[in-house]
Amino acid sequence: MESGKRLINLTRSKVTGDSAWVTAGFATNAFSSLFVSILLARLFSENNVAIYFLFFSMVIVLSAITQVGLNVTVVKVLNKPKYIEFRLAYLIKMIFIILASNIFLSAIIILTPSDFFTEIITIDQNINQYLYIVLFWVLFFSLRSYLSEVFRGFHDIKRAALYQRILPNILLMLFLTIVYIFQLNIELHTLLISIVFINFFLICISLPRLMAYLKVLTYKPGVQFTHILASGGPIVMGQSIQFLITQSPIWILTIVSTLESVADYGVATRLAAVVSIPLLIANNVIMPKIAKLFGDENIAIINKTLNVSVIASSSLSLIVTIILVINGEWLLFLLFGEEYLLAYDLLIILCIGNLINVVSGSPAVVLAMAGFENYVMYSSFLAGILTISICFSIIPTYGAVGAAIAASIGISVLNLVLVLFCYKLTDAKTYLQMPSMIANKRA
C-alpha cells in the first residue's frame, strides 16, 4: 500500500515538474520573443525589422519541411512498445534524413538565379547575401528542434524545454540587450550570424547528455528509410501547410504592400502569440502521454486528460485576450513606439483567431499520436488553400488587416475540421465543452 502511494506521489511530482519546465519554456519564449521584437524596433529601421520577420518566417517553414515530420514521429517511436527494440536505428537514420533534406534545400536555393527573390519581393537588393546565412540558420534550427524532441521522447522535459525554447531565446535576448545598452552599431547580417551561432552552440552542449541516453540502446537493423519517410511524410505535409496558413499572409503582404505593413503585422503577430501559449504548453506536456494512452487503447482517460487540458488553457487564454484587447494600443505604444500603433486592429483580429485555436484543444496532437497523420495533412491542405485564396482576395485592398483576417480564418477552419476528424476517427473530444455538456454526459 505504501509503495503504491509512493509511486503515485512520484508520478505526480514528475508530471508537475514536467509541466513547470514546459510552462517556463513557453513563458520564456513569449517574453523573450516580445523583448527581441521590442529591441529590434529600437535598434533597426522598420524596413530591417520587416526583413527580419520575413527571414524568421522562412526559417520556420523551411525547418518544418527539412525535419520531414520527424520531430513528431520521434516522440511516438520512443514511446510506443512496437518500436522499442528499433529506437536507436530510428534515431540515427532520422538524423541522416534531416541532414540530407537540408543539403537538398541548400542546393535548390544556391542554384536559383540570383535575381529571383528580388524580383518577387521588393526589399533589399542584397537579399541574396543574407540567404546563405539563413540556410545555416535553417540547418541548425531544424537539428536543434529535432534533438529537443528526442529529449521529450525520453521524457526529459527539462532539457527539451531548455534547448527548444528557453536557452535560444534568452541568449538572443541577452545579445540584443548588450547591443542596446552599449549603443553598438550592428548590421542585419551580424544579427543573423549571431542567431546561427546560438543554434550551433546549443546543439554542441546538448550532445553529451543525448549520448548518455543513446548508450543504453542497442542498435538493431531492419529499419528502412522508406518506412521512416512514410511515417513522417503526412506529418510534414500537415505541418508545412499549417505553417503556410500562418506564414503565407506575411509573404503575400510583402509582395503586394509595403515593408511598414509587414513590420506592423510581424509585431502584432508576436504580441497576439501570447494568447496561444497555454495551448502550446498543454500540447507539449500531453503529447507523450497521449501516445502511451493510445497504445493502451484507453479512450476514457484520453478524453479526461484532454478535457482538463482544454479547460485550463482556454481559461488562461481568455484572460490574456481580454487584457490585450483592452490595453492593446497602450502596450503597442509603450513597447514598440508610436509608429506601430497601426498594428492595434491587427492585434485584435489575430487574438480572436488564436483564441479559437485554443478552445479547439489538441486535435492535431491526438490524430498524430493515434496514427491518423494523413487526416492532419488533408485538413491542413484544405485550410491552406482557403487561407491563400483569402490572402490574394483581400490583402491588395485591405493590406495588413486583410492578412490578419486571412490568417485567423485559416487557423479557425483548420481547427474545426481537425476537431471533427478527431471525434469521428478516435472518439476523442478535444474541444472546450460547456459544463452542462459534461454534466449531461456523466448523467
**For residue 441, is it within any domain?**
no
Q: Residue 197: what pLDDT? A: 98
**How far apart are the C-alpha atoms of 16 and 7, rounded to whole Å?**
14
**How far apart are the C-alpha atoms of 126 and 118, rounded to whole Å?**
8
**For residue 148, is it within any domain?**
yes
**For residue 442, is it within any domain?**
no
Supply the range of the domain harboring residue 248.
2-436
In order along its 443 residues, the chain shows pLDDT tens digits of 444 444 344 444 454 556 677 677 777 777 788 889 999 998 998 888 988 998 998 898 888 888 877 777 777 777 766 666 667 676 777 777 778 888 888 787 766 665 655 555 555 556 667 888 999 999 999 999 988 988 888 888 889 888 988 899 899 999 999 999 999 989 999 999 999 999 999 999 999 998 888 877 766 666 666 666 666 666 666 666 767 777 889 888 888 888 889 999 999 998 998 899 888 888 877 777 777 777 666 788 888 888 888 899 999 999 999 999 999 999 999 989 888 999 999 999 999 999 999 999 888 888 877 878 778 878 888 888 888 899 999 999 999 999 999 999 998 998 999 999 988 888 888 888 765 444 444 44
> What's the pTM?
0.77
**For residue 259, is it within any domain?**
yes
348-358 b/e with 16+ CB inside 10 Å = b? bbbbbbbbbbb
**How far apart are the C-alpha atoms of 106 and 88, rounded to whole Å?**
28
Q: Residue 149: what pLDDT? A: 86
**For residue 118, is it within any domain?**
yes
* Structural contact between residues 344 and 328, judged by C-beta atoms closer than 8 angstroms: yes
**How far apart are the C-alpha atoms of 318 and 433, rounded to whole Å?**
15
Q: Residue 440: what pLDDT? A: 47
In the chain, the number of structural domains is 1
Q: Residue 144: what pLDDT? A: 93
**Position of cell 513522417?**
232
**How far apart are the C-alpha atoms of 116 and 127, rounded to whole Å?**
10
**For residue 443, is it within any domain?**
no
Q: Residue 146: what pLDDT? A: 86
